[in-house]
C-alpha cells in the first residue's frame, strides 16, 4: 500500500541547534514529496517539495529536505532552529490510484523549540 510515515510524534530542540523531522514513504514509481507546516487552528502552509533533480531541496523559512531514494526518506532539516518554528509538521506524498491522484499525509510531528 502507498503510504507515508513520520516515526516521531514530537521532536524537541533548543533554539539555535539543528533540527531534523523524519519522513519515510512507500509509493509506486517516482514520488512527488511535500512538507507542510500547521499552526494551531489554521490550515496547512507549504514549505517545500521534491519532484526531480537535486536531492537537497530548499524551501521557505530556511528549511530544507533531503531526498534519499535508497532509504525512501525525505527528512526535513534546518541548521538553526527558532522558537517560532514550533508547530506541527506534515510530510505528504502524491499517489496515483484507479480514480486518479490524491495527496496522502503522515500523522504529523510536533516540533517544540525551547529558548
Partner 1 sequence: DGGITQSPKYLFRKEGQNVTLSCEQNLNHDAMYWYRQDPGQGLRLIYYSQIVNDFQKGDIAEGYSVSREKKESFPLTVTSAQKNPTAFYLCASTPREGGSTEAFFGQGTRLTVV
Out of 32, 66, 73, 82, point to the residue binding partner 1 (CB under 8 A). 32
- Of 19-27, 63-71, 76-84, 91-99, which part binds partner 1 (CB under 8 A)? 91-99
Give me the least distance between CB of 83 and partner 1, in Å please: 23
Q: Which residues are CB-neighbours of 78 under 8 A, at least 6 positions away?
A: 18, 19, 61, 62, 63, 64, 85
Out of 9, 28, 70, 115, point to the residue binding partner 1 (CB under 8 A). 9
Do the beta carbons of residue 41 and residue 87 sit within 8 Å?
A: no
Cβ neighbour number for residue 61 with a 10 Å cutoff: 12
Q: Residue-wise over 37-48: b if at least 16 C-beta within 10 A, else e?
A: beeeeeebeebb
Out of 20, 49, 66, 82, point to the residue binding partner 1 (CB under 8 A). 49
Chain residues in the site for partner 1 (CB under 8 A): 6, 9, 32, 34, 36, 41-46, 49, 51, 90, 92, 94, 96, 99-108
Amino acid at each position: 500500500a502507498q503510504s507515508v510515515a513520520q516515526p516521531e510524534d514530537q521532536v524537541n530542540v533548543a533554539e539555535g541547534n539543528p533540527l531534523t523531522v523524519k519522513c519515510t514513504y512507500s509509493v509506486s514509481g517516482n514520488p512527488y514529496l511535500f512538507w507542510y507546516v500547521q499552526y494551531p487552528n489554521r490550515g496547512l502552509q507549504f514549505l517545500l517539495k521534491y519532484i526531480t533533480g537535486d536531492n537537497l531541496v530548499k524551501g521557505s523559512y530556511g528549511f530544507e529536505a533531503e531526498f534519499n531514494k535508497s532509504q525512501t526518506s525525505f527528512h526535513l532539516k534546518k541548521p538553526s532552529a527558532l522558537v517560532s518554528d514550533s508547530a506541527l509538521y506534515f510530510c505528504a506524498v502524491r499517489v496515483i490510484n484507479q480514480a486518479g491522484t490524491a495527496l496522502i499525509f503522515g500523522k504529523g510531528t510536533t516540533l517544540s523549540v525551547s529558548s
